[in-house]
Structure 1
Amino acid sequence: MDITRRTFLHGAGAGLALSGIGAHRAWAETSLSFGGMQVQSLSDGHLVLPPDFIFGPMPQAELAPLLAERGIDPGDPLTPECNVTLLRDGERVVLFDTGAGNAFQPSAGELLDALDAAGVAPGDVTHVVFTHGHPDHLWGVLDDFDDPLFSEAEHMMGRAEWDYWYNPETVNTIDSGRTAFAVGARRRLEMLEDAITFFDDGEEILPGVAARATFGHSPGHMAFELRSGTEAVMVVGDSIGNHHVAFARPGWNSGSDQDQEMAAATRSKLLDQLAHEQTRLIGFHLPQGGIGRAERDGDGYRFVPEGA
């Protein structure tokens, strides 16, 4: 495929191939191909978060030197990238999550431009697969007229995640700071009700795509293993939510998780597997397009972007 100014794609080749562009985020900054699959990381922009949203429940005395080592000022806002994964496999064009749309944060909601740069129109998308129902992953599913944006696509969500967000009682039981999450999710899921397919942990939801329960960040959060032969990539969503503390101290509770203890246990187990098997991962909020691998680093891990 031709290289242009705004989209950087890597042609198919034997084994896993990957291209990256350095420090500046482009719409399709990183892509890889294996078997018949081509996977791209597309930018939906970034979020702006108060530090306590993640760091609040952590042991502050231990946190401070860890952040200092990584050049992170604990008083500065956090600005994590939002990376939407696009899979092209034969006639299938699959989106994992749909970004934030225009109703969440002004710094996010850029997926349509990213898709355009990658040569994909909304009507080309055959499947939309959700990791979970938080705004930056779900709210971009509707267009400006509140109709499904990907009108030709089959929409797919884990059964437990759907049940949680569709339940009208969730708005009354969720943490008060996330009430808008529940209201927004319910409204969007109502629009998808007649076009949704449910799946459970361990199911092969599409050829070469298996669902993996990674509960905790949200009640039914799912990751997805994309596999062709002996090669695989794990789309981890927000089960590994940042490139610093989540890797260095995966067992610490994070304020971004709805069930903090469950999420920490999930994160620790997943990182152990990824590091042991050296399986590539794509993280929704990881830097440089989110494609890389986890490596052991003392008692924890570190994120190594592909090509580093």
Structure 2
Amino acid sequence: MLNRRLLLGASAALPFLPPGVAEARAPFRNTTPAAWYRFKVGDFEATVVSDGRLPLGAIQPAFPTSSPDEVSALMRDHFLPPDSATLEQNALVVNTGRHLVLFDTGMGESMGEQSKMFGPTTGKLLQNLRAAGIEPGQIDVVCATHAHCDHVWALVNRRGQRVFPNARVAISEADLRFWTDDGNKRGPEFMKVFIDGAKKNLSAYRDRMIMVRDGQEVVPGVTAFAAPGHTVGHHVYAVRSGNETLVNTGDLAHHQVLLLRKPAWEFAFDTDPKQSAQTRSRMLDRFATDRERILSYHFPWPGIGHVSREGDGYEWMPSPMNLTSVS
């Protein structure tokens, strides 16, 4: 226990600042540092690059069939705001030694003001890529998990020019067809702008598309697996090198609490919410059973970890960053 007299004596000995003497004040730095993180998957070098934070806003509209009280309670129990949610955007880059593969592109600026529909904190991918020492021209494959705005809208710039001039784009034929079809501009209000954005971004790569198929390699070491529901052709990608595997799960689950603890809950941005819930439950069970390391696009930075069973759902177990980094 500290001696009370010692503390009092020490405080009495401290000098007082005379009037008019400036204190060591500094301005607040309202800037975000470059966000990238490098680690290994077997012999492959992997880098997670942030596209910035994506504010989802009010939670309840995103989970329309769930009890508002249960949603709020789950958030509070995990020390999160009960009335709003913010998602990360963790884009993975894998250098296999033969290929430099980017998984999803973030929001970009291709759709002008519409690219800021979730606020000004998105669209940071290119600056963070460069901060990590990666130039867009070095990317030779872009693997899209699906064709939503926060995953493919940085394929082109505002003028419709390719951002990744040397890249082929891997995506499912089902998603390519669905999200470039004007006939699907129905239902939720966001469908029109999502389709317009997908058409603009994907059409620029029409002559260099790779149609991904369930269980097939895109490039050596990267295999696509169908995970439909969030979109008609949503895929996840397994990155394998040596005895190590990392599964990029895309939008299999958007929130590390709500959709892990309650994998059967429906999410408003799913094309087929019921199919999405079934796919999510099936794949989370596999990841927990096989103890596979995953990277989730929207989980807390940098999105790397494992899922373990917890009651009727799952718990997110983030990997310690110092255990996955490059030495």
Could you tell me how far apart the structure 2 residues matched to 1:121 and 1:53 are? 38
SS for the counterpart of 2:142 is strand
Q: Larger Cα Rg: Structure 1 or Structure 2?
A: 2
Aligned-residue Cα RMSD (Å) equals: 1.7
| Cα shift at 1:261 | 0.5
SS for the counterpart of 1:49 is strand
Could you tell me how far apart the structure 2 residues matched to 1:257 and 1:61 are? 22
| Cα shift at 1:25 | 7.4
Q: Find 2:100's aligned residue among 93, 118, 124.
A: 93
Deviations 1:217-260 (A, max 9, x none): 11110100111233211000001211111111101112232211
Q: Normalising by the residue count of structure 2, what TM-score does the alignment of the two structures yield?
A: 0.82
- List aligned pairs for 1:124-203, cutoff 5 A: 124-171=138-185, 173-203=186-216
1:72 matched to which residue of 2?
80
| Cα shift at 1:53 | 4.2
| Cα shift at 1:178 | 2.6
SS for the counterpart of 2:223 is strand
How many correspondences in the alignment? Answer: 282
Q: Find 2:288's aligned residue among 270, 275, 278.
A: 275
- List aligned pairs for 1:97-112, cutoff 5 A: 97-102=104-109, 103=112, 104-105=115-116, 106-112=120-126
Could you tell me how far apart the structure 1 residues matched to 2:33 and 2:228 are? 30
Identity percentage over the alignment? 32
1:293 matched to which residue of 2?
306
| Cα shift at 1:55 | 2.8
| Cα shift at 1:27 | 1.6
Deviations 1:89-131 (A, max 9, x none): 1131110011100242221011111111111111111111100
Q: Find 2:45's aligned residue among 38, 44, 64.
A: 38
Could you tell me how far apart the structure 2 residues matched to 1:190 and 1:119 are? 28
Deviations 1:282-303 (A, max 9, x none): 0110002101110111221111
Q: Normalising by the residue count of structure 1, what TM-score does the alignment of the two structures yield?
A: 0.87
Letter in 2 for 1:210: T
Gaps of 5+ in 1: 1-23
1:5 matched to which residue of 2?
none
1:241 has 2:254 as partner: yes
Q: Find 1:304's aligned residue among 317, 320, 327.
A: 317
Could you tell me how far apart the structure 1 residues matched to 2:62 and 2:81 are? 13
1:217 has 2:224 as partner: no
SS for the counterpart of 2:182 is coil
Letter in 2 for 1:200: R
| Cα shift at 1:72 | 2.5
| Cα shift at 1:167 | 2.1
- Aligned 8 A contact 1:274 1:293 in 2: yes
Q: Could you say if the C-alpha distance between residues 80 and 213 of structure 1 is closer, same or farther in structure 2, counting changes exceeding 3 Å?
A: same
Letter in 1 for 2:42: G
Letter in 2 for 1:260: P
| Cα shift at 1:281 | 0.4
Deviations 1:157-179 (A, max 9, x none): 111111111223122x3423332
Gaps of 5+ in 2: 1-31, 322-327
Q: Could you say if the C-alpha distance between residues 130 and 53 of structure 1 is closer, same or farther in structure 2, counting changes exceeding 3 Å?
A: farther
Q: Could you say if the C-alpha distance between residues 52 and 183 of structure 1 is closer, same or farther in structure 2, counting changes exceeding 3 Å?
A: farther
Could you tell me how far apart the structure 2 residues matched to 1:175 and 1:256 are? 9
Letter in 1 for 2:104: D
Could you tell me how far apart the structure 1 residues matched to 2:181 and 2:213 are? 18
Could you tell me how far apart the structure 2 residues matched to 1:89 and 1:25 are? 27
- Aligned 8 A contact 2:73 2:82 in 1: no
